[in-house]
Amino acid sequence: MDTVRESKASSGDRRVRRTRSALARALIQLVEERDLSRISVSDVAEGAGVSRSAFYDHYRDVHELAEDACTAMIDGLIESLPAPDLPSADLAQEAIPSLAAFFASLAEHAGLYRALLGSQGSARVIGHIRHRIAVVIHDHLAAADTGEWTERVPHDVAAAFTAGALIGVAVDWLQGGCSRTPAEMAEVTWPLLNAHYRIYEEGR
């Protein structure tokens, strides 16, 4: 009996994942064609091949779906960032491609991110991205063993400051129409981040 219940639960979970994935794909396609504010639940449901009632089984509205899709993409991207405990030389070699991938992901779905990270955007998404980036930076600073420097500038403060700066650069770039390529953004952003790391290391 337990095996049957577990099988039904697993099947239900797969259906939920499939439906949510289909809704996210439909929204991402639509938001590249028109503003998020002009996309209706019916538009998304039709694009995903599901009913309106099926949509409402998962989300309250299109904005909540957009937030969910955006945070899921960011989570996948941040998980691919280099390990924070890499030696400085290895970190530098991996950081620029990782930053380029970060900006490339933003550019690929610029319509969605522009809507959610702009002045009328989602505090939930902005906070989520800032938090996830701050965690990566915090772990790197903690692995660097910065000693007495943290008494003046604790890891959490430095990580939040750096994450906020990176998000600010990304939002400005998106709102400006992504005038620089993702590779160019990585090249100009990394020296700023690296300088911050060096300040920490020199303060030990």
pLDDT digit string (tens) for 73-121? 888 777 665 554 544 555 667 778 888 988 998 898 888 888 888 877 8
CA distance 164 to 131: 9
Mean pLDDT of the chain: 81
Distance CA 178, CA 118 (A): 14
Q: Please report the sign of the dihedral spanned by the C-alpha atoms of residue 178, residue 184, residue 190, residue 192.
A: negative
Q: Answer yes or no: do 117 and 171 share one domain.
A: yes
- pLDDT bracket for residue 197 (50, 70, 90): low
Task: Pick 77 or 175 by higher pLDDT.
Answer: 175
Query: By C-alpha distance, which of 133, 33, 19, 34 is closest to 69?
Result: 19
Residues 72 and 117 in one domain: yes
Query: Based on the domain organization, do 52 and 14 belong to the same domain?
Result: yes
Domain of residue 12 covers 2-59
Instruction: Let me know whether 176 and 81 are in one domain.
Output: yes
27 and 6 in a common domain: yes
Counting the structural domains of the chain, the total is 2
CATH number at residue 16: 1.10.10.60
Residues 119 and 33 in one domain: no
Distance CA(8)–CA(14), nearest Å, equals: 10
Q: What predicted TM-score, i.e. pTM, was given to this entire model?
A: 0.73
Rounded CA gap, 8 and 19, in Å?
Answer: 16
Considering the domain architecture, whether residues 75 and 162 belong to the same structural domain is answered as: yes
**Final residue before a domain boundary, out of 36, 59, 82:** 59
Say if residue 174 is in the same domain as residue 149. yes
59, 82, 102 - which closes a domain: 59
Residue in the structure block whose two tokens are 């990394």: 190
Residues 134 and 115 in one domain: yes
- Residues 35, 110 within the same domain: no
Q: Tell me if 64 sits within 8 A of 122, measured CB to CB.
A: no
pLDDT of residue 6: 45
Same domain membership, residue 44 and residue 75: no
Residue with tokens 């992901």: 105
179 and 110 in a common domain:
yes
Query: Which tokens sit at 159?
Result: 């990580």
Domain end: 41, 59, 77, which one? 59
